[in-house]
Amino acid sequence: MILVRFLSEASGNLIGFVIEGHAGYADPGEDIVCAAVSSVAYMTANTITEIIKADTEVAVEDGMMFVKVAAGDALRCRDLLTGLKLHLIGIEEQYPDRIQVNYLEV
């Protein structure tokens, strides 16, 4: 299962995300759930770091992506992170046994 944790401030503002695991929906290279989650996660991370150029902590390993935006840049990334959240919730609604979306106050 893919576990998504959106990182938020006490105010509720999203400041990042952690995505871990594998969906196990199909064989590697054929798993549409993993492909959908990976694609939108990389698009979001690349937009934050390369287009918005926000001060960001990023870590990527096999089966894990961590992105945390510095407090001073959170407002500039808010809409993008909200879009990611909505997209992943949509995937969760379609594949509830393959992805779980949660929130973590940091």
Find the CATH number of the domain harbouring 65.
3.30.70.1490
Residue 32 has pLDDT above 90, yes or no: yes
Structural domain range at position 76: 23-105
Task: Determine, yes or no, domain membership for 16.
Answer: no
Task: Determine, yes or no, domain membership for 53.
Answer: yes
Q: Mean of the pLDDT values across residues 80-90?
A: 98
- Residues in CB range of 45: below 8 A, 6 or more apart: 58, 60, 65, 67
Q: Mean of the pLDDT values across residues 34-54?
A: 98
Looking at the structure of the chain, the number of domains it has is 1
Indicate the pLDDT class of residue 15, thresholds 50, 70 and 90. very high
Task: Determine, yes or no, domain membership for 8.
Answer: no
pTM for the model stands at: 0.94
Task: Determine, yes or no, domain membership for 50.
Answer: yes
Task: Please state at what angle helix 32-46 crosses helix 74-94, rounded to 10 degrees.
Answer: 170
Distance CA 87, CA 84 (A): 5
Q: 96, exposed or middle or buried, with CB in 10 Å at 0-12, 13-18, 19+?
A: exposed
Q: What is the largest CA-CA distance in the chain?
A: 41
Residue 105 has pLDDT above 90, yes or no: yes
